[in-house]
Amino acid sequence: MTELELAVRGEITSDMKRVAEDEGISPEYVRDKVAAGQIVILKGRKNGRRVVGIGRGLRTKVNASIGTSSDINDIELEKRKALIAEKNGADTLMELSASGDFDRIRQEILDVSSLPVGNVPLYQAFKEAAIKWGAPHRLEEEMLFDLIERQCEDGIGFMAVHCGINLFTVERMKRQGYRYGGLCSKGGTLMVEWMIRNNRENPLYEKFDRVCSILKKYDTVLSLGNGIRAGAIHDSLDRAQMSELILNCELAERGRELGCQMMVEGPGHVPLDEIEANIILQKKMSNGAPYYMLGPVPTDVGAGLDHIAAAVGAAHSSMYGADLICYITPSEHLGLPDENDVETGVKTARLAVHMGDVVKLRGRADQADMQISKDRRDFNWDRQFKNMLFPEDARRIASSRRSSTDKGCSMCGDMCALKNAEATLSAYLKGDKCNH
């Protein structure tokens, strides 16, 4: 049985207990939210070394995406990137290879990483159809479903499946006059092409129950892919994107009824003033299903620094209730990320979602911030480093630019406000009323 089915029966599993311990909350809370479809539990079917809870009342998680392209196809590089993502605190990993020996790449990433690994089955399906039959749109339906099962059997912990694209969605895009940013989802674009060229409905939508039955068999979490997401901020919340979101929220409810753990994916490129509205819509229409946001990037002019733009979007998303954020690297929109890009992307996203969690989970997520503030005031450097997100980076900078004084840093030297306040004002300012 799936974690969802067991939770509905009132059972608390060992994985629910692990999530509760990691989050500092009760196992009963985790069970109840899993039963309601508001928390999902991801784990590697193959290695089972990490269990990650995603959803309501939990800290916002960070996903790191890796994978080959037709231009750069290096399995060893992708394995190194997977390990770098894990070392720097990613919660999940998506193996998104678009070229090469898909089965081998997937197996080797699953072997090397202890994180729950996700993927997008349409990439392999359309690529292999092009090789076998000369064009992606000649993909046969049975081949697609067989591939989904094989990938689940290999040990994929969560899978982005583009079930919410249908002929109605495509018609909305046509009638609104296309888009500023066109289509930006690889899998989504190829599925739209398949539907148009074959004049057929999306089989993942048409036979959604079959998709759920496969993933349920392995308790693989179904992440309802956002194939019509906006690739430009001026396309955000357009009719095509909203029609897919409505369908995905409806399918999330249907999938839960079938006993399958469900997430909903979201955009994409979203201006700051529309992030909250997007999350409110998703949460209300899906009865609080976990929301996996890709980015979001709130401007289209930041190439080279898109990880910073995305951090602003991610912080807002986390604050408003998003549950999983996909990192963005400095190479977004420019090229395949390298090892340095992966490290930068993971760290930036972790910092961003923490800023949101300080608001969303106030009283839990902000405790390290409170302790660091006190330790900074009292020059307790060792404890400061202990509570920082990136202690090694902080230590390296501090040690390379030591102050000539015995307490402060070299930013202010003998003008250090904290040092001077401690010497002359602390007793007066604290008085008898300070309760800190």
In this predicted model, what pLDDT tens digit does every residue of 327-341 receive, in sequence order?
999 999 999 999 999
User: Mapping DSSP to helix (H, G, I), strand (E, B) and coil, where does residue 54 land?
Assistant: strand
CA dist., res. 19 & res. 28, Å (int): 11
For residue 241, give Cα distances in angstroms to 201, 229, 255.
18, 6, 21
Displacement of CA 259 from its chain's centroid (Å): 23
What is the pTM for the complete model shown?
0.94
What would the pLDDT profile of 146-191 be if each residue is shown by its tens digit? 999 999 999 999 999 999 999 999 999 999 998 999 999 999 999 9
Among 109, 117, 151, CA closest to 48: 117
* N-to-C CA span, the chain: 49
Q: How many CB atoms lie within 10 A of CB 395?
A: 15
User: Mapping DSSP to helix (H, G, I), strand (E, B) and coil, where does residue 1 land?
Assistant: coil
Mean pLDDT to the nearest integer, 110-127: 96
Question: Which tokens in the block code for residue 301?
Answer: 């002019």
CA dist., res. 70 & res. 63, Å (int): 23
Question: Which tokens in the block code for residue 275?
Answer: 């992030």
CA dist., res. 388 & res. 7, Å (int): 35
Mean pLDDT to the nearest integer, 386-415: 86
User: Mapping DSSP to helix (H, G, I), strand (E, B) and coil, where does residue 363 land?
Assistant: coil
For residue 214, what pLDDT is reported?
A: 98
Mean pLDDT to the nearest integer, 425-435: 64
User: Mapping DSSP to helix (H, G, I), strand (E, B) and coil, where does residue 50 land?
Assistant: coil
Q: How many CB atoms lie within 10 A of CB 392?
A: 9
User: Residue holding tokens 């496969």?
Assistant: 214
Q: Nearest 5°: phi and psi at 118? A: -115, 170
Residues pairing with 294 in the sheet? 326
What would the pLDDT profile of 410-421 be if each residue is shown by its tens digit? 888 888 888 888
Question: Which tokens in the block code for residue 401?
Answer: 């630019």
Residues pairing with 42 in the sheet? 52
CA dist., res. 79 & res. 243, Å (int): 37
Question: Which tokens in the block code for residue 167?
Answer: 């002929």
Question: Which tokens in the block code for residue 386?
Answer: 């202990």
- Whether the predicted pLDDT of 204 surpasses 70: yes
User: Mapping DSSP to helix (H, G, I), strand (E, B) and coil, where does residue 14 land?
Assistant: helix
The percentage of residues in the chain with a pLDDT greater than 70, rounded to a whole number, is 96
**Domains in the chain, start-ordered, CATH in brackets?**
37-360 (3.20.20.540), 367-430 (no CATH)
**Which residue type sits at 283?**
K
Residues pairing with 161 in the sheet? 224
CA dist., res. 358 & res. 369, Å (int): 9
CA dist., res. 328 & res. 208, Å (int): 30
With contact defined as beta carbons under 8 Å apart, do 237 and 274 qualify?
yes
- Length of the chain equals 436
For residue 243, what pLDDT is reported?
A: 96
CA dist., res. 223 & res. 323, Å (int): 12
With contact defined as beta carbons under 8 Å apart, do 91 and 51 qualify?
no
Mean pLDDT to the nearest integer, 130-158: 96
For residue 405, what pLDDT is reported?
A: 65
**Which residue type sits at 78?**
E
CA dist., res. 296 & res. 95, Å (int): 20
**Which residue type sits at 294?**
L
Alpha helix stretches (DSSP H) within 207-305: 208-218, 239-257, 272-286
- Whether the predicted pLDDT of 316 surpasses 90: yes
